[in-house]
C-alpha cells in the first residue's frame, strides 16, 4: 500500500477553489472481499474521493490507518482478529483526526452502539444507496455525525440500559444549563436542529450553539455520543422522552 500523494486537508475546510468538492481519502475495512470491492467501485465513481486501501480485519485497519492516514475509515463492525468496535476505539485514541464511519449488515445491531460509544462518527447499513454513502462521507469529513436521529433512538432504547429514574441527576450533567438540558432531551428524542428550533421557538443557529456547548461540557465528540450520554445517565429513558419506535 502506498501513502496518498497529496497532504491531508484540514478537517471541515471549505470546498476547493472553483466550487469543486473537497478531496476525501478513504480506507475500507471489511472481511468480505466482494463488499470491499463493491464499496471501492461505488466510491471510484466520485472523482473527489480516493480509496487508499482495502483491509480484511480490524487489526489491519489500525495498521493501515497509521500508514496511510486516511480522512475516513469505512469500518465493518463485525470482523475477525479485531472487531470494528475495538478497532474504532484504538483509532479514536491513536489517530483522533481519522474519522470512522461504521457499517453493519443489520439496522438494529447492538455493536453499533458500541462503535458510536468508542468514537465512530456515524453508522450506515450496508445496503445504503451509493448517493447516501457519498453524502455520508462528506458529512463526516465536515466533522458532523451520520446517524438518522430516529434510528439512533431505536438503537439506544433497545440496547442501552439507562439509570434508574429514582437516582439523582448524574454529576456530569450538572454542568449543563437548563436550556442545554432541554436541547439534549430533544436531541435524544430524535429531533433535528430545525425541529428543536421550532419546538423551543428559537433560531436554528441558537440550537447549534447550544449543541456545541453540550458537546464541550460533556466531553463528547458529536451528536451521537451526546445522545448515548443522555440515555446512559438516565436523563432520557425508553418511552419517557425518546422518539416513538
Domain extents in the chain: 17-147, 155-232
* pLDDT value for 13: 39
- Say if CB 133 and CB 124 are below 8 A apart: yes
Confidence of residue 159 (pLDDT cuts 50, 70, 90): low
Is the pLDDT at 171 greater than 70, yes or no?
no
Q: Encode pLDDT of 3-51 as tens digits.
A: 333 333 334 434 444 556 789 999 999 999 999 999 999 999 999 999 9
C-alpha cell at 180: 442545554
* pLDDT value for 173: 81
Confidence of residue 160 (pLDDT cuts 50, 70, 90): low
Q: Encode pLDDT of 215-238 as tens digits.
A: 899 888 778 788 888 887 878 765
Please tell me the distance from the alpha carbon of residue 113 to that of residue 80, in angstroms, as a whole number. 19
Please tell me the distance from the alpha carbon of residue 189 to that of residue 181, in angstroms, as a whole number. 12
Please tell me the distance from the alpha carbon of residue 24 to that of residue 103, in angstroms, as a whole number. 18
Q: What CATH architecture applies to the domain 17-147?
A: 3-Layer(aba) Sandwich (3.40)
- Say if CB 236 and CB 185 are below 8 A apart: yes
Mean pLDDT of the 99-107 span: 84
- CA 200 from chain centre, in angstroms, equals 26
pTM of the full predicted structure? 0.70
Q: What CATH architecture applies to the domain 155-232?
A: Orthogonal Bundle (1.10)
* pLDDT value for 153: 64
Amino acid at each position: 500500500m502506498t501513502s496518498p500523494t497529496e497532504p491531508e486537508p484540514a478537517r471541515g475546510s471549505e470546498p476547493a477553489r472553483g466550487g469543486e468538492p473537497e478531496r476525501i481519502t478513504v480506507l475500507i475495512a471489511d472481511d468480505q472481499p466482494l463488499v470491499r470491492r463493491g464499496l471501492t467501485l461505488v466510491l471510484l465513481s466520485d472523482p473527489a474521493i480516493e480509496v487508499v486501501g482495502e483491509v480484511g480485519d480490524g487489526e489491519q485497519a489500525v495498521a493501515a490507518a497509521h500508514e496511510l492516514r486516511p480522512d475516513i475509515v469505512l469500518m465493518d463492525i463485525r470482523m475477525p482478529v479485531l472487531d470494528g468496535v475495538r478497532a474504532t476505539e484504538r483509532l479514536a485514541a491513536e489517530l483522533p483526526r481519522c474519522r470512522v464511519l461504521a457499517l453493519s449488515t443489520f439496522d438494529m445491531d447492538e455493536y453499533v452502539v458500541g462503535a458510536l460509544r468508542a468514537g465512530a462518527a456515524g453508522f450506515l447499513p450496508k445496503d445504503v444507496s451509493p448517493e447516501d454513502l457519498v453524502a455520508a462521507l462528506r458529512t463526516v469529513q465536515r466533522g458532523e455525525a451520520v446517524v438518522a436521529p430516529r434510528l439512533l433512538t431505536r438503537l439506544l432504547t433497545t440496547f442501552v440500559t439507562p439509570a434508574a429514574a429514582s437516582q439523582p441527576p448524574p454529576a456530569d450533567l450538572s454542568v449543563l444549563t437548563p436550556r442545554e438540558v432541554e436541547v439534549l432531551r430533544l436531541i435524544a428524542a430524535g429531533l433535528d436542529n430545525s425541529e428543536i428550533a421550532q419546538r423551543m421557538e428559537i433560531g436554528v443557529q441558537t440550537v447549534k450553539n447550544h449543541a456545541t456547548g453540550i458537546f464541550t461540557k460533556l466531553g463528547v465528540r458529536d451528536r451521537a455520543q451526546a445522545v448515548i450520554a443522555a440515555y446512559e445517565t438516565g436523563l432520557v429513558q425508553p418511552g419517557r422522552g425518546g422518539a416513538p419506535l
